[in-house]
Amino acid sequence: MDESPLQVLTLPTAPYLDQRPGTSGLRKKVFVFLSKRNYLQNFVQSIYSSIDLRDRQGSTMVVGGDGRYFNQTAIEVIVQMAAANGVGRLVIGHHGIMSTPAVSCVIRKYKAIGGIVLTASHNPGGPNGDFGIKFNTANGGPAQEAVTNKIFQISRTIEEYAICPELRVNLATPGKQMFDLENKFKPFTVEIVDSVESYANMLRNIFDFAALKELLSGENHINIRLDAMHGVVGPYVKRILCEELGSPANSAINCVPLQDFGGQHPDPNLTYAADLVETMKSGQHDFGAAFDGDGDRNMILGKHGFFVNPSDSVAVIAANVFSIPYFQHTGVRGYARSMPTSAALDNVARATKIELYETPTGWKFFGNLMDAGRLSLCGEESFGTGADHIREKDGLWAVLAWLSILAARKQSVEDIMKDHWQKFGRNFFTRYDYEEVDLDTAVQMMEDLELMMLEKGFVGQRFAVGEKLYQVERADNFEYTDPVDGRISRNQGLRIILTDGSRVIYRLSGTGSTGATVRVYIDSYETDPNKIFQDPQVMLAPLVTIALKVSQLHERTGRSGPSVIT
């Protein structure tokens, strides 16, 4: 402990009006944090001030980030401000690094009042990339809208922040560090922890590690390829999949976390994880997966690069849920998916008579249902899959879930998926992303589209594309009433539902940092055995034509096509 007590200062600041948290925290370009005076301090103070003083004083909080550029500097400030704001103990990942699912796990393990997660997820990193800050509450999940609204309101009027500027934390040495502060009876404590071990221990209690070890390194083992994309999940993959479950060292690639993710988009989809898709095409590997920067997203591939759509992935896990020992013990309380996610999960829920919830986009909506004991397994089209073991989506958990199914069924990924479609029918799904569109143009397009959809005569309108004829059955702006607390979330996406059940959905992303990202989601359901194996882009082409025509998306944005197709 330092000899002389550290000074606690209250310093003046001026508010910024643009610190509204998006789908999952505040995400901005790194240069915004670097060039705008106190930009970080203002938001961090707003987080601390949003917590009632009685809850904050002497409390435990968790801090971790995905290791991207500015992670370490930000943590040093967060620690100095935590001490000055009365937090009693901070639990921090070694070198300040923790995957998002590990933060959730550690918050729950230490019964912390919450945590601060430093990540911009799948957005690029480095000095020219993005940085982000998210507040998670005591359940381990992203704060609910009521809390993020409060943080935003505080940030708009903030006049001062509290800090211990001389406090120097050592993030490199595991163990406890104590700091004496002036006017404090008890020292402020920082604990640097091995989050990989806490997280691995949790997974050991969820999955059958002996069966997984046999699958990955036994006599008839399969070959896998995991791409950590230089995100935070690399050390977790190495320790759990390679060292513990025996997969060869060369089965896990890009496992060293880099501040700029090697200059790539750490986003596990067919566009940004194209190297993995290419390698898988050679047929040497039976199973492939990629993760995002903070380790909560996953993409699953089978031999020859067979792509498992995330909307299907959660449905397959649900249909095989008892291959996972955790669910044998807990049973299944309910399933959930975000609104734009295809209804593949609904088919399993219906067949197994389990409740299905349709929520807005954003993992926080699942947390409430889980806390109320109503939800066990959920997923989103945006490559997120998870369960109620924590309150974040969990990339590595999803991989072990799939490997458990492979171990139990002794079939290939492709055969499991095709069996599934034969049994439940297939929900064809595609998503078109138009990234970095001019913000005003995008907002205006959405407003005009909504007005048109609500006009008399839109419902009932017919669209003919080639031989296909569609008719609008319903058009609305999705609204969600939380079944637990009755809170209403409005404006969650424009939906056009056609009489055959097909859907066209338009949403503005809440995770970008520049301009607007327009997302168009399209899905349709097919049970005809002659059609279920067709290419989704071919099957959905008529609906794509309608989606672009109705919105005039290309004309209005000046784009000739999407940046990413899923």
Output the smallest distance, CB 253 to ligand G16, in A.
21
**Residue selected from 187, 334, 360, 362 as contacting ligand G16 according to rule CB under 6 A:** 362
Could you say which residues in the range 373-392 bind ligand G16, by CB under 6 A? Answer: 380, 382, 384
- Between 200 and 339, CB nearer to ligand G16: 339
- Alpha-carbon separation of residue 42 from 27, 133, 145 (angstroms): 14, 12, 19
| Structure tokens, 36 | 């705008």
- In 38-118, which residue ranges form alpha helices assigned H by DSSP? 39-50, 53-56, 71-84, 100-109
Q: How many positions of this chain bind ligand G16 (CB under 6 A)?
A: 17
Instruction: Tell me: does residue 24 bind ligand G16 (CB under 6 A).
Output: yes
Could you say which residues in the range 70-99 bind ligand G16, by CB under 6 A? Answer: none
- Alpha-carbon separation of residue 520 from 340, 359, 419, 434, 517 (angstroms): 9, 17, 28, 8, 10
70: left (phi over 0), alpha (psi -120 to 50) or beta: left
Stretch that binds ligand G16, among 88-96, 145-153, 357-365, 487-495 (CB under 6 A): 357-365
Among the options 49, 50, 104, 121, which is catalytic? 121
Instruction: Tell me: does residue 231 bind ligand G16 (CB under 6 A).
Output: no
User: CB-based burial of residue 270 (10 Å sphere; 0-12 exposed, 13-18 middle, 19+ buried)?
Assistant: middle
| Structure tokens, 423 | 């049994």
**Alpha-carbon distance 50 to 55, whole Å?**
10
Output the smallest distance, CB 348 to ligand G16, in A.
20
**Alpha-carbon distance 72 to 91, whole Å?**
15
Output the smallest distance, CB 391 to ligand G16, in A.
11
Convert residues 490-529 into a mask of x (bound to ligand G16 by CB under 6 A) and - (unbound).
-------------------xxx-------x----------
Instruction: Tell me: does residue 297 bind ligand G16 (CB under 6 A).
Output: yes
- Between 115 and 362, CB nearer to ligand G16: 362
Q: Which helix (H) or strand (E) holds 31?
A: helix 30-35
**Alpha-carbon distance 100 to 364, whole Å?**
13
Convert residues 116-145 into a mask of x (bound to ligand G16 by CB under 6 A) and - (unbound).
-----xx-----------------------
Stretch that binds ligand G16, among 160-168, 318-326, 356-364, 435-443 (CB under 6 A): 356-364
Output the smallest distance, CB 293 to ligand G16, in A.
8
Stretch that binds ligand G16, among 157-165, 198-206, 355-363, 459-467 (CB under 6 A): 355-363
- Between 164 and 508, CB nearer to ligand G16: 508
**Residue selected from 19, 23, 80, 502 as contacting ligand G16 according to rule CB under 6 A:** 23
24 a catalytic residue:
no
The amino acid that residue 352 corresponds to is: T
- Between 286 and 292, CB nearer to ligand G16: 292
Could you say which residues in the range 526-565 bind ligand G16, by CB under 6 A? Answer: none
| Contact between 356 and 332 (Cβ < 8 Å) | no
Output 458-463 pairs: Cβ under 8 A, ≥24 positions apart: 463/546, 463/549, 463/550
- Between 80 and 121, CB nearer to ligand G16: 121
Ordered DSSP codes for 546-561: HHHHHHTHHHHHT-SS
Of the candidates 125, 134, 126, the residue with the CA atom closest to the CA atom of residue 107: 134
Catalytic residue positions, numbered: 121
The binding site for ligand G16 (CB under 6 A) comprises 23-24, 121-122, 292, 296-297, 361-363, 380, 382, 384, 509-511, 519
